[in-house]
């Protein structure tokens, strides 16, 4: 098998450093504490912008993960700042869990309990515990796990309900964003519960967490995965009826490698064998349908109409690079690595913002960036690209 080239390692390592420097330089909110809520396309800070829990948990995860990877104590300043702000402002002291959104001053403006957000809090707190050694962070992560299991896990039909009111009572509009279907159960939320529980189990060794993680793996194999088309279904009603037939290519390729890590965490060889086969099938389909030579990875496809969303979002590019690496390590098929290197060249040429730093949110099929998209925002964060760089540097082909 081909060994990963030193040049590739050096470039990925350099890019990780650039991402880190960007968030150190432009992420801090010196006026209102914590981190800024928004910077626009040209990197201008939008004062008065609200602060979202997804951005803030992902910032905590990122500085903790880079600190763990590099063994860099200088990153404690940023990780501690992120943790303290999350604990002081996003934490619900009355009903527990974390709020969805704050105003610029740190006051809650949307208190809904989105399970996606609770999962990211667990993921970030678990990584921060590894970095800081603070037992309180692990305890908080475990307490949120208990909330998810108590309120969101469907004991009758399995899976996790998407969202709740602030007091964990039912909510009608469960959508994660305006772009999503109002579905009771979604692949996206389950995927991020899976990654959160994987790290939580690694730090806690709790058998209750292990059981929940094993159950999630089975759900992905039996419910979410479409073995005929080699995609993951995204939206379901409460009874697991499929709602819509949209494929998210980024989620496809991200899911397989996160499932591999989950199966390794619970040390289940049967799961791992099934998922490795799945990984090759998904990756092969991904190369046929999502990857365009010299032009990166497209966003979505409607399987019913055949309509494509050909925009290139930043995060599927890096998830593809990681997922294809896993497929290569399992199969030894060189074309997975060839595509990975081609996607990396595309990222360097068109996704990395050479003028203002970090990565463009998305570009069109002609490689023109969307100027209405933010550089920092509710959904634009350092987690996908920093994590991808870390995992690629950890994996030695």
Is residue 93 a part of any domain in this protein? Answer: yes
Is residue 1 a part of any domain in this protein? Answer: no
Give the pLDDT confidence score for residue 39 in this predicted structure: 98
Is residue 186 a part of any domain in this protein? Answer: yes
Question: pLDDT below 50 — which residues of the chain?
Answer: 397
Is residue 237 a part of any domain in this protein? Answer: yes
Give the pLDDT confidence score for residue 3 in this predicted structure: 61
Give the pLDDT confidence score for residue 55 in this predicted structure: 98
Tell me the pLDDT tens digit for each residue of 87-131: 999 999 999 999 999 999 999 999 999 999 999 999 999 999 999
Give the pLDDT confidence score for residue 175 in this predicted structure: 87
- At CA 235, angle to CA 248 and CA 176, rounded to 5? 85
Is residue 119 a part of any domain in this protein? Answer: yes
Is residue 108 a part of any domain in this protein? Answer: yes
Is residue 347 a part of any domain in this protein? Answer: yes
User: Which two structure tokens, joined as six digits, stand for 202?
Assistant: 């690694």
Q: What is the CATH number of the domain that holds 327?
A: 1.50.10.10
Those residues with Cβ within 8 angstroms of residue 300's Cβ, 6 or more apart along the chain or in another chain: 246, 247, 248, 249, 308, 309
Query: Which domain range does residue 243 map to?
Result: 6-394
Burial class of residue 80 in the structure, from the number of CB atoms within 10 Å of its CB (0-12 exposed, 13-18 middle, 19+ buried)? middle
Percent helix / strand / coil, the chain, rounded to 5 = 55, 10, 35
Is residue 346 a part of any domain in this protein? Answer: yes
Look at the chain and report how many structural domains it folds into.
1
Tell me the pLDDT tens digit for each residue of 264-314: 999 999 999 999 999 999 999 999 999 999 999 999 999 999 999 999 999
Give the pLDDT confidence score for residue 1 in this predicted structure: 54
Q: Do 325 and 340 contact (CB within 8 A), yes or no?
A: yes
Give the pLDDT confidence score for residue 395 in this predicted structure: 87
**Residues linked to residue 377 through DSSP beta bridges, in sequence order:** none
- At CA 266, angle to CA 256 and CA 118, rounded to 5? 70
Burial class of residue 180 in the structure, from the number of CB atoms within 10 Å of its CB (0-12 exposed, 13-18 middle, 19+ buried)? middle
What's the farthest any 2 CA atoms get from each other in the chain?
55
Q: Do 159 and 190 contact (CB within 8 A), yes or no?
A: yes
- What whole-number distance in Å separates Cα of residue 209 and Cα of residue 138? 13
């Amino acid at each position: 098998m081909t060994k990963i080239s030193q040049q590739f390692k050096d470039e990925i390592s350099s890019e990780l450093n650039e991402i880190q420097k960007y968030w150190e330089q432009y992420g801090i909110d010196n006026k209102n504490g914590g981190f800024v809520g928004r910077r626009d396309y040209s990197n201008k800070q939008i004062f008065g912008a609200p602060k979202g829990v997804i951005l803030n948990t992902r910032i905590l995860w990122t500085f903790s993960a880079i600190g763990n990877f590099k063994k860099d104590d200088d990153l404690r300043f940023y990780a501690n700042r992120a943790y303290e702000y999350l604990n002081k402002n996003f934490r619900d002291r009355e009903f527990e869990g974390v709020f969805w959104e704050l105003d610029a001053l740190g006051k809650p403006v949307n208190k809904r309990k989105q399970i996606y957000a609770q999962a990211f809090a667990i993921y970030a707190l678990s990584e921060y515990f590894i970095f800081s050694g603070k037992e309180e962070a692990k305890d908080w992560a475990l307490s949120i796990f208990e909330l998810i299991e108590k309120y969101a896990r469907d004991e009758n039909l399995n899976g996790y309900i998407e969202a709740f009111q602030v007091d964990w009572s039912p909510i009608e509009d469960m959508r994660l964003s305006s772009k999503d279907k109002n579905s009771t159960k979604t692949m996206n939320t389950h995927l991020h519960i899976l990654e959160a529980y994987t790290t939580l189990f690694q730090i806690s060794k709790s058998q209750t967490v292990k059981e929940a993680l094993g159950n999630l793996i089975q759900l992905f194999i039996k419910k979410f995965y479409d073995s005929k088309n080699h995609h993951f279904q995204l939206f379901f009603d409460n009874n697991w009826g499929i709602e819509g037939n949209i494929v998210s290519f980024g989620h496809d390729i991200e899911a397989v490698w996160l499932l591999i890590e989950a199966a390794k965490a619970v040390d289940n060889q049967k799961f791992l064998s099934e998922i490795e086969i799945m990984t090759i099938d998904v990756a092969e389909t991904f190369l046929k349908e999502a990857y365009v030579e010299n032009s990166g990875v497209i966003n979505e496809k409607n399987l019913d109409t055949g309509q494509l969303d050909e925009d290139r979002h930043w995060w599927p590019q890096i998830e593809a690079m990681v997922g294809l690496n896993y497929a290569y390590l399992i199969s030894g098929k060189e074309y997975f690595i060839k595509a990975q290197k081609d996607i990396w060249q595309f990222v360097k040429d068109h996704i990395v913002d050479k003028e203002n730093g970090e990565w463009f949110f998305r570009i069109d099929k002609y490689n023109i960036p969307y100027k209405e998209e933010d550089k920092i925002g509710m959904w634009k964060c350092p987690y996908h690209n920093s994590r991808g760089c870390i995992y690629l540097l950890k994996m030695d082909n």
